[in-house]
Amino acid sequence: MLKAVFRVTTFVALTSLLVACGDESKEIPDDIGHFELGDVNDVADTAEVAEDITDTEEVADDEDPGDTEEVADDAADTADTDDVPPEDTTEVVEPEPDPALPMRDDGWLRGDLHLHTTYSDGEDPVAVVIALAEYFQTELFLDYHPEYVGNHIDFISITDHRTVLHNFDPDFHSDSVIVIRGMEFGKPGHGNIFDLEEFVPHEIEGVGATPEVYQAAPGLAHAQGALFSINHPMLINIPFPWDVRDHDAMEIINVGWGMLATAYPLEKLDAWEQRYAPASPIFKKALEYSSEGGGGNAAALRFYEAQLTRGLHVAVVAGSDRHLVLPVGFPTTWIKTESEDIAGIKDGIRARHTFVSRTPVAATVEMTVKNQDETYAMGDQINIGEEAEATLEVTIRVRRAQGARVRLIRGVGVDTDEALADVELGAVVHEDFADSNDFETTVSLTVNPGDWFYPVVHERLISPDLDPELAALIPGMADAMEEFSEENFSPLLDVLVDFIDSEALMRGEDCRPTSWEPHMAQCMPPDNNGLGTFFIPDWINRVFSIIREDGKSTDWCMGAIGSACVVKGVEVEPMP
C-alpha cells in the first residue's frame, strides 16, 4: 500500500516538475501586481492526502525493541574481557585529492540558473530554495558527502514564471550563496533573464505573443543591465522557434541530460507557425537532426550549434528547472569570474567563459587555444587576422573523469540564413580517453574564419568503483528510462521507488538525517514543508544523465560541455 501511495505522490510531483513549466494553459501571474502571498499549492494538498493514507496503516510491534538490547547486553557480559582483539593491520588508503579544487582559485564558480518557488509554480517558498543551496556547505551534509568540501553551490538565480515579485521577498538573501534576481520570460517559448529590476512583458494585451515582443525582450533586459538566456528550446510542449538573435546564453541541459528523452519533432512545427509566426531558420536547421534520437537536451545542443554556424556566439548554461523534490544545482553551470559577485558572474557569461556539468562534483572541462604567440580560453573568439586559414593548438583539460571519452566538436560558419541549408552541423574531429583524473589531450586544428569548436566529456555510465549489486541494476534502469517521456512518468518511478524514503517524500518535515544510506536518494532537511527534497546519489544521477544514440541507451552519460570558441578574421567594411 505504501509503495502504491509513493507512486501516486511521485507521479503528481514529477508531473508538476516536468510539465507545469511547459503547460501554456496553466495561468501564472504576468507581473508582481497579480500574485498574492500564501497561495496554496495543489501538490502540497496531495502530500497531505498521502499522509492520511499512510496514517491508516498500523504496524504491530511483536516485541519490545528494548528486549533485544537486553539480550545483546547479556551476550556482551559473557565475553572474556581479558581477550584483546588482534591489531588491525589493514592499510588505510587515503582518498585521492580532488584535482578540480584548484579551479576555485582560478575564479571558477558553480551554480544553478533556473529555479522556481511558490511565486509561480514551484512547491517551496524562497527561503527554502535558498536554504537548499546553502545546505551543501553545512557540516551535516559534508559529514555524509565529504566530496563536496570546496565543491558547494556558489550562486543561484530564482527565475519564477512571468513575475519579479520573488526578487522582493524578505527572505531573498543569503550570507553564503550569491542570489541573483531573475525571471523566466515568456509563455509559448521561455527564456531566463538574470539580474533584472523590472518586469519584461511577453505578450501584448488582447493580442498575445508576437515576434516583435519576443525579439524586443533581450534588448529590454540589456537596458536594465540584465542578461537573456533561451531555455529548453526543444521541449515538446514548449519549444523556442522564435527568431531571437541578441541573447546572451543558451540552456543546453535542462533537468538532466537523459531525462528529456524525446525532443520537439519537425512535424509539429507547421501548427506552431500557423499559430504564431514563421520559425527561425536557425531553429529549423537544428530540427533537421531531430531524428538522431538523443532527446531534448541533445536537440538543444544542436540548436546551439546551428546558432554558432550562423554566427551567433553565446555562452552555454544549464538549469535544474527545479520546482520540487529534486535538488538545487543538478545540472551545474560553471562560470569563470574575475570577482565573486553578481557583476563577476554576468561578465563571465558575457565572455562565454562557461561550461556545464551534470553535478557540482562531476567531470570538469577547460580548453585553451594557441595561435602563434596568442593564447585563448574556452569561449573566446580566436583572431587569425588576414590569414585565410590558421593552424591552432587546442588543448582540452578534463578533471575528475578517469576513463571518460573526450571529444572536440567542430563546425563551420555561414554568412546568410539561406546558406544554412548547405552545411552540416557539428562533427567529432578529435577523440581521446582520459587515463587519469587530471587529463589533457592536444590536437592541431586547421581552421578558417567562421569555424567553431567546443569540448565534450562523456563519463562512464557505471562508475568503476560502484557496488556490483547496484551496478547490476543499471542496465534495467537505463532500459526503463528509454520509455520516459512528458506523457509517461512510470519509468522514472520504477527507477526511484526502491531508493527513496516515501515518508520523507510525502512529508518533508519527516526527513531524518540519521537514516541516510549512501546508495539511497537522501532527504534534505531544509525542505521541511510539503513534499521533501532529495539529494540524488551519483550512481543514479548517471542514469538520469544517460546518453542516447538513435533512441537507444549507451554506456556513457553526459559529463561536461564547454562553450565554443569561434574563429574570426579581418572584419570587412560593408560597401557604401
pLDDT band, very low/low/confident/very high, at 24 (cuts 50, 70, 90)? low
Average model confidence (pLDDT) across the chain:
86
Task: Report the pLDDT averaged over residues 479-503.
Answer: 79
CA 229 – CA 240 distance, rounded (Å) = 11
- 149 pLDDT higher than 50: yes
Q: Which of 67-81, 208-222, 360-374, 541-555 shows the lowest mean pLDDT across its residues? A: 67-81
Of residues 513 and 427, the one with the higher pLDDT is: 427
- 12 pLDDT higher than 90: no
CA 89 – CA 96 distance, rounded (Å) = 21
Q: Beta-strand (E) ranges in 124-166?
A: 155-158
- 89 pLDDT higher than 60: no
Find cell 592541431 and name the residue: 444
Measuring CA to CA, how many Å separate 428 from each of 411, 424, 456?
A: 9, 12, 10
What pLDDT is attached to residue 33?
Answer: 31
What pLDDT is attached to residue 347?
Answer: 98
pLDDT band, very low/low/confident/very high, at 420 (cuts 50, 70, 90)? very high
- 2 pLDDT higher than 70: no
Measuring CA to CA, how many Å separate 433 from each of 276, 302, 430, 455, 546?
A: 46, 23, 11, 13, 18
- 23 pLDDT higher than 80: no
pLDDT band, very low/low/confident/very high, at 486 (cuts 50, 70, 90)? low
Q: Coil, strand, or helix at residue 391?
A: strand
Residue 478 C-alpha cell reads as 537505463
What pLDDT is attached to residue 480?
Answer: 83
Of residues 3 and 377, the one with the higher pLDDT is: 377
- 82 pLDDT higher than 80: no
Q: Which of 40-49, 149-158, 215-224 shows the lowest mean pLDDT across its residues? A: 40-49
- 179 pLDDT higher than 60: yes
pLDDT band, very low/low/confident/very high, at 468 (cuts 50, 70, 90)? very high
pLDDT band, very low/low/confident/very high, at 487 (cuts 50, 70, 90)? low
User: What is the SS3 assignment for 268-303?
Assistant: HHHHHHHHCCCCCHHHHHHHCCHHHCCCHHHHHHHH
Q: Coil, strand, or helix at residue 437?
A: coil
What pLDDT is attached to residue 494?
Answer: 76
What pLDDT is attached to residue 230?
Answer: 98
The 10s digit of each residue's pLDDT in 289-301 is 988 889 999 999 9
CA 482 – CA 499 distance, rounded (Å) = 19
Q: Which of 118-132, 222-236, 514-528 shows the lowest mean pLDDT across its residues? A: 514-528
What pLDDT is attached to residue 55?
Answer: 41
Residue 557 C-alpha cell reads as 552519460
Residue 435 C-alpha cell reads as 587515463
Of residues 111 and 33, the one with the higher pLDDT is: 111
What pLDDT is attached to residue 260?
Answer: 87
What pLDDT is attached to residue 44?
Answer: 38
Residue 125 C-alpha cell reads as 517558498
Of residues 161 and 32, the one with the higher pLDDT is: 161
What percent of the chain is modeled with pLDDT above 90? 73
* Contact (CB, 8 A) for 133 and 114: no
Q: What are phi and psi of 304, to 5 degrees?
A: -60, -45
- 72 pLDDT higher than 50: no
CA 422 – CA 535 distance, rounded (Å) = 46
* pTM metric for this prediction: 0.87
The 10s digit of each residue's pLDDT in 197-253 is 999 999 999 999 999 999 999 999 999 999 999 999 999 999 999 999 999 999 999
pLDDT band, very low/low/confident/very high, at 286 (cuts 50, 70, 90)? very high
Q: Is the dihedral of CA 249, 250, 253, 259 positive or negative?
A: positive
- 453 pLDDT higher than 90: yes
Going by C-alpha positions, the residue among 423, 403, 421, 404 that lies closest to residue 413 is: 423
Of residues 218 and 71, the one with the higher pLDDT is: 218
Q: Which of 118-122, 204-208, 411-415, 484-488 shows the lowest mean pLDDT across its residues? A: 484-488
pLDDT band, very low/low/confident/very high, at 483 (cuts 50, 70, 90)? confident
Going by C-alpha positions, the residue among 169, 161, 155, 170 that lies closest to residue 193 is: 161
Give the other-Cβ count within 10 Å of 61's Cβ: 6
What is the DSSP pairing of strand 534-535 with strand 522-523?
Answer: antiparallel
